Structure 1
Amino acid sequence: MKILCWNTDDAVWEHWNQVVGDAESLVRVERLEDVYDAFKAASAVFKYCFIYLEDQSFSTQVEDVVALRSRYPNQKIIVFPNQTSQAAALRLFSAGVSGQCAPYIGKEQLKLVLSVVDSGEIWGGKVFIQQLIQQSALTAKTYDSELATLSERELSVTQLIAKGWPNKQIALEMDITERTVKAHLTSIFKKTNTKDRLALALLAKSYNTTL
């Protein structure tokens, strides 16, 4: 069984090789472009994709994973963030990521994670699940006064933001300029009381406003 690993950290890579089972074969890539190339290769079939989220480009990588998941919705992706971020975890799970684990996960724990993911469930840990429930409850109270205030155009932009689309792609899809997309976002952030694309995407995902 092949596992594609997007990993730029040698120490974490060495650890992964030590904790995977004998039946697993790890394939390492260090660039996002190589991940896409590996998935496009007709001869390459990966049961899982492990992604190490480094500190230096954490936010960018989170959005890269969302876009990757959108392109390959059937691929099981497990992320290994090097920092704790509730917002990022919500963003990734709402995009369909199968699991989140510590980079230096133990051998037996990883075995359990893969077993859970194989069964069709997600792995996030007890604490995360509790926080997710609390977050959903808090967000629900503000829905009527936030997303409900958006115009049809603004809601369309919000839906595409939740999919992880960049401004240029949104502009092409909606047949408007990037400048207009930015103007819509400024208005959307104000109306929904969100500070950035990540917060907006989480709000939209919470209420199934995306396709």
Structure 2
Amino acid sequence: MVVILAVDDDIHTLELISIYLSQSGYRVIKAVNGKDGLNMLEREQPDLAIIDVMMPVMDGLQLTKLVREQYNIPVLLLTAKGKLEDKEKGYIAGSDDYLVKPFEPKELLFRIRAILRRYDKTSDVNIRIGNMLINRKSFEVQIGDQVLVLPLKEFELLSKLASMPNQVFTRDQLIETVWGIDFEGDEQTLSVHIKRVRERLSKLETQIQIKTVRGVGYKLEEST
């Protein structure tokens, strides 16, 4: 499951973010100022940080700079200021996107998904888990001495699951990544593709399995 760190001294905003993102399949960890946010980063391993600019103890720009220096995760800045010079400061500090308060929760969700997609595309060309090697450049899956060439959608699905082993991806996250946000089909399409990938893996000597997490989605893991 994707973990998001939300840092904001406004408790109401923090709760709004937590409730909405939790309902959308993310795990949210919260901090009320920049120093508290740094402490959370040391204990957890979030995939993205949502940081308010105006905070006591340590403001959002300072925190963003430290996140950029010490952690390789994207940052979405929140601010009550929408002037161009304020946005410029945010981007100079290292933010990936900028959202002005008050905001619609749906817009926050869209921006988070867009940022995570961009980071996923710039990840390593090769993914290795157990005896399976996925080459994103050649679109080949090598298991031991055997090379498996999958249809594009199946390859993208397997790559997404393998990019973060043991992490649960919701059905919506997988559909949006593989088929796009404008996909007009249903979850049955995803189920069919998962079944096909499972059947292909089962024919080869591998301990890699796609597990169903009932009511949530799927994860890829190496069985022992």
Q: TM-score, normalised by structure 2?
A: 0.45
Greater Cα radius of gyration, structure 1 or 2:
2
Q: TM-score, normalised by structure 1?
A: 0.48
Higher relative contact order (CA 8 A, sep 6+): 1
Larger fraction in strand:
2
Larger fraction in helix:
1
